[in-house]
Structures are given as structure tokens and as C-alpha cells.
Structure 1
């Protein structure tokens, strides 16, 4: 429903400014992706190497060497490992392989398997080791959570550390708490941009979950900070006001939740900020919120905010720090 075609930067707790170039490349991630492709998608090892190395910007030679060195794949015929591999095929499939190579298809399963093994007809000289399957099973949950909820906006290395401290928690709570870490960090650093973006991600998270009351909570946090950008008071001329995403979120929620509930939550959210600086008052915020819920044109709201507040030279000189009468 919402336009997320524009790309957001990824956010790091450890590196607030310049993130190292290779910080987004996790050995755990590309190892998991490689094993998943071979184990679950039934791709050949060669094909999996090509796809994963391309996805992560690695050379095929590096990825192959790493998998061999860490013994995720083996290149020697091991009877036990090969026996596990051959069990993936039913007898009918094994007979088809033998027939394709002009070999006998008669006999019991044991003889058919021996014929396959003796002629090295399955796969190539490389195959997944037992270590790969154990790795896949142990890492599946954390990779699934990261890929499903967080991979577009955050770095796996930081999530992995967070996961190790929080893996006992319910799966649904893990991404929420991780994003809230970033929101709290933005508040600590008084970073308007990071606060808005991370609240946007949380809003989208609850939209996908169909939890519209929680979605409203984070949409209104962004709304309050959009119209009253207290951390940008010296750069109001750079502030464009209400974001289009927040406008879209609120107009959508007006169809899902009663208008009174939205307005009541707005007052609760505003008071939770405990603003010590006011640019747009709580009352004015209420008036603009009503305009949004009445579907007033987005561009007109922005124009009005800009003229009344963000381009007001007198306001910028005063740098309002007192709560107004309407805020009590």
C-alpha cells in the first residue's frame, strides 16, 4: 500500500557516520545462503557458488576456498557422507540415473546404490558435509528473523550480537526490540533523521503485521517530531515539515481506527515527549492532524507549515523554548 520504492540507508549502532566497506558482508550470512541453496533449493554446488558470490560481491574462487577450508563442503569420497546424500533419492530416481548412463537398473536398493557409488554418478566431487546441515539448523531462526524484518535497514553483525543476548525471547519481539535500540540511540544523539527513519521502519513493521494500534503509535511519534523538529531548531530552513510517508500512514489509519482514538493517542504521544522546546504547539499539531484526517491536500499542509513556522525569521530568532498556553 505504501510507496517504499526509494531506498533507505542502513543504520548502525556502532558506526553513526562512516561504516567500513565490508561491514555488510557476514560470513554467517553467505554461508547460510549457500547451504540453503544446495540443501533446500536442490541447486548444484557450482550454481550456488555463482549465485551467492554474485549476491555478496565475492569472487567464486574465494567462496569455494572458504567453504572447503571450513569443511562445509568436502571434495573426497566419504562413504558415510555419500550414503547420507544418496538417501535423498528414491529408488525410482536412482534407476533413472543408471539408465541414463547405460547401466543395469535391476536388483535391490543396496545393489542399485552400490552401482551408483562405484560409478560416481550423483553430484560432482563436492558435496555438503554434516557440518553444513548442523550449521543450517542452528542458524536458521536468526537468519530468518533478520532477512524477514531487518535486512533492508540494518547490519547483520550488530543484529547477531543482539540475537545472542535475546534468543530466548519470542520471535515476534526480537526485531521490535532491535529497532527500538536504534530509536533510543537516535534520541540519545538527538538525530532527527535517524529518529524519523527508524520510527518509519517500525510503522511499516506493524502495518505488515496488521497491528494498527501499534502502527498508529509509531506513526504519531513521527508526526509529532515532523511538525515540531526540536533537534533541528537551528536548521529550520532545511526542514520540509510533515513527511509524505507519515501523511499516508495516518490517512490509511483513519480508515482502520476511529478518529477520536487517533486524536486521543496523539495527545498521549505528544505528552510522552515532554518537549522542552516548542516550534509548533500541541494545539496547532491537533489542528494539522485534523486536516490530515479530513484528507486536506498534502502540499497545502506543507505550504502552510512552512510559511507559518519553518520559514518564519522571527521565530528562528526567538528559538522558542517556553511551552505555550495551549500545551497545559
Structure 2
């Protein structure tokens, strides 16, 4: 129940980065339930599912699942946009064209304001293969605020998978068979604490997903803790490798009355504001066919509504490849 190897160069890259300015100090995060101890060896933490959470879902079948059409437009290639795709707005960077066997990135954690309970705001990575809208395979991990799913507006660690573009397979966390958890220290769906504050301390977590060809699994690691794996038998295209990887934010916009939602992405501030104010993802890398961590090449950006949420790329010695992204949603330029 352990990976047979990690990507080469991983531990050298886990060293602490230098802050972009003196406005904040980079710090690690934990989960609130850790205040009450840990699970015994041989067990895993599973978040209790309550009756009221199931009742909030549109149906039992849809409970704990994403809608079809939640993938960034860059993933769809030449496929037409689905009816509900416009409800999902992204600010991401994307690489495609090679064979990818994983990704590592350090993600800044915030508590964005979400306008209504059926909307969400998240920051995540996508590992993608196949084509939309029929046989798209994805592996996803990050943090999200989603009242209808969790019952509160706290940022929570999550993962997701699908092999048919969210039609019938896959789910969040452990809400269906698929992802196999091996860690007794991290709870999928568990609250993250503390979180970053505007102009003050910044908190972040490392995410790593990589393919272990020996064991036939895609492994997930939060920080230094290996959480579990997706068996490659779950997938069609991802049984081999990924053809795209994406990093960034997504908001579900269900606001009515002809106005855009006020749901925030990331910190709720545009990327131009920089460190301590805008949300970021740094040390972005991919895993190649030789199991080495590499800087991505031919990176492109996507922001469907840049006046509402936007993304900017950068590269330097301390942060490697990074992005600032996010925004407030409704504003004078995004009515």
C-alpha cells in the first residue's frame, strides 16, 4: 500500500521558497480535525455523510458528483461548448501535446466568498486524457469551498476522477468506489486551517500526483503525506498517460437576474496585485516518461471572462514556473 517510487528530483524541490516580498511569511497548513488526534494505524479518516447533505443534492445519483461540462474549454479541443459549460469559469494555465505522467505544484490556500450554496470556488490541478464530451478521463486534486457539498464555507481538501466526462463515473473524495486511501493522517473533504489573509501571512500546500507504472496506480500526495491512489483500471486513456495538465481556479456561476455572481476565485483579487494579495500556484512541474520532474513548456493561459477572473504566468529562480490568478467576480467591468 505504498508507491514503489517517487518522481526524481522531488525532495530537492521541496525546500522552502523565498517570499516575493516582506508582506507575508510562507507557512504550512494542517486540517482542523488534527486538533483532536489522529486515526489509529490500519484505519483511515472518513468524513461523515449527513442526511441533510444528501437532501441538498438534486438526486441520489448526482450526490457527490460534478456536472458534465465542468472541464476548461482548453481541454475540449474542437468539441462544441455544452449548454452548462458557460456556468463554469476558469483562470488556468495548460500544457498539452506530450505524454505526461504526473505533476507537482504548490497551491496558495484562501477562503473565497461564495454567493450562494449551489456555487463553488476551487483551486486545483487537472490531469487529462481522452476527448470531450464522451470519453474524457481526468484526475483532479486541490481545495474548494462548496456549501452544498460540505455544509459550510470552509476551504477543504478534495480529489475527483472520471473516465466518461462526468457522465456516470467518478465522484468527489470517497463518495464512490475508485480512489483507494492509504493514509490515516489526511481526511479528504477535511477543513484546511489556517488560510491566507490579504496583506498578511500566506499559507500553502504541496500537491503531487504521479503514475507508478510498477503498481499500476496514480498516487496522490498532500504535503509530505501519501494519501492514496487511483488504480489505472479505473481509466481508459489515463491507464497509459495524460495528454494535458492544467493548474488554476474554477468558479461555478449560477447567479440569476442577468448579473454575474459575486463568488470570488482564490483571494478575490486580480493577479496584478501580486504576492500577499492575489492567489498563486508556484513550482509548477510535470513528470516525464523517465519519471523526472520537469518545467512545463509551451504553456498557454485560459480565462473565459478575464474581467471577472484572470491569470498571469511568470518564472524566476525562487518560484520556478508560477501563476497568479483569481478575481472578485461581479465588478464594474464584469456586471
TM tier, shorter chain? under 0.3
Q: Which has the higher helix share?
A: 1
Structure of higher RCO (CA pairs closer than 8 Å, 6+ residues apart): 2
Q: TM-score, normalised by structure 2?
A: 0.25
Q: TM-score, normalised by structure 1?
A: 0.25
Q: Which has the higher strand share?
A: 2
